[in-house]
Amino acid sequence: MDRIRIRGGAQLNGVIPISGAKNAALPLMTASLLTGEPLELRNVPRLADVNLLLRILGNHGVDHTVTGKRPGQTTETGQTIRLDASSVIDTCAPYELVSRMRASFWVIAPLVARFGEARVSMPGGCAIGTRPVDLLLMALERMGVQIDVEGGYVLARAPRGLKGAEIEFPKVTVSGTHVALMAATLADGTTVIENAAREPEVADLASCLSKMGAKISGAGTSRIVVDGVARLHGTTHAVMSDRIETGTYAIAVAMTGGDVVLENTRPEYLQQALDVLTQVGAEVTTTNEGIRVYRNGSGLRAVDVTTDPYPGFPTDLQAQFMALMTRADGISRIRETIFENRFMHVQELARLGAQIRLDGDAAIVEGVEKLKGAPVMATDLRASVSLVIAGLAAEGETEIHRVYHLDRGFEALEAKLGRCGAEIQRISG
């Protein structure tokens, strides 16, 4: 099993290209099931989760081609994937595939919308909370889908098609919004989604669906209106840049010091997180290329944060920010409101010398003068990269085990950091 070895203490200086967003690419790929015409997606990141979803879509009968390497293309240049769901042969998504990634459960929406039925295993994925699918199924039931659960599988049936409906989520759910949005495009009538997720990835999906012929208004707000159409057609769409990768590298620069330009990204995708970094002591400016993050000599200040749905501080940056606060001057309080079990990185950060105690849904972090390298173990995707950030600033050598979590969400992480001066290497076996 691969591991990553880091010798801490080096500043980061240079340019890091930001990849396409995993959290946008996955629902976009799933949307290929809504049409019998090809969907071409550009700027798709090279990630384990993308490859797994290709396997799941292939199990349904979706053909795909990946554009070969072009002159000048690097491993960080997004790939182009062409998906063709004209010959779907199976509307069942089996346990052995769906259990490995929660987002694969979303295929239930386009399958039942286009074919009138779906049989999808209950999902698996990172152990950061229960993340139940009840809100996703509620949205489908509102549109007339009959839902039954048998033997660990959800059976969804709508032989006469879906009907437009009023859907009001009791709490903001990105997954539920993705599912409702995809299903509503082929429903008969108008669907109104209230308390919808406002994340940029939802707006990116809506943009692609609109290019495919869907009639959508309000994406990016808490109220989305969808007028169903009889069919969707193919299109070409570029995946948005990854705001979580952007925030992760911005935090890494704040942690280590240095001067890095994050290319091909947009500050408005994560403005609150960038504002927090400014409070911490980093300088953040917008350039023609993207975002410049700079810190040289100034200390880190402790800042309290609370995770919230967009446009609040992202839960997917909570672990990385906690790593940063381990070196801040003072005591910070980091409150997690999205997932109930997303503090598993605390004990591993403590192995590096961090002083953290848990208080219900909050972590109290007392900054220390220095961290010291040690062997640590990743527990999930964001926790694993928080250990990388801590290791970049720790004295001596840090070795991170179970880095397959990193491969699910960060493209060419070692190469990007290494070119900016980090002493980081992957060790196979």
* Binding site, annotated residues: 22-23, 102, 131-135, 316, 338
- The owner of tokens 């950091």 is 417
Q: Per the residue annotation, which of 92, 126, 208, 420 is the catalytic one?
A: 126
CA distances for 203 relative to 115, 150, 197, 399, angstroms:
25, 34, 9, 38
- Determine contact, residues 238/205, Cβ cutoff 8 Å: no
Please say if 126 is a catalytic residue: yes
How far apart (Å, rounded) are the C-alpha atoms in residues 124 and 131?
10
**Residues tagged in the binding site annotation for UDP-N-acetyl-alpha-D-glucosamine:** 102, 131-135, 316, 338
SS3 sequence of the chain: CCEEEEECCCCEEEEEECCECHHHHHHHHHHHHHCCCCEEEEEECCCHHHHHHHHHHHHHCCEEEECCCCCCCCCCCCEEEEEECCCCCCCEECHHHHCCCHHHHHHHHHHHHHHCEEEEECCCCCCCCCCCCHHHHHHHHHCCCEEEEECCEEEEECCCCCECCEEECCCCCHHHHHHHHHHHCCCECEEEEECCCCCHHHHHHHHHHHHCCCEEECECECEEEEECCCCCCCEEEECCECHHHHHHHHHHHHHHCEEEEEECCCHHHHHHHHHHHHHHCCEEEECCCEEEEEECCCCCECCCEEECCCCCECHHHHHHHHHHHCCCECEEEEECCCCCCCCCCHHHHHHCCCEEEEECCEEEEECCCCCECCEEECCCHHHHHHHHHHHHHCECEEEEECCHHHHHHCCCHHHHHHCCCCEEEEECC
Give the distance from CA 236 to its chain's centroid: 22
* Token code pair at residue 423: 């002493």
**Residues tagged in the binding site annotation for phosphoenolpyruvate:** 22-23
Write out the catalytic residue numbers: 126
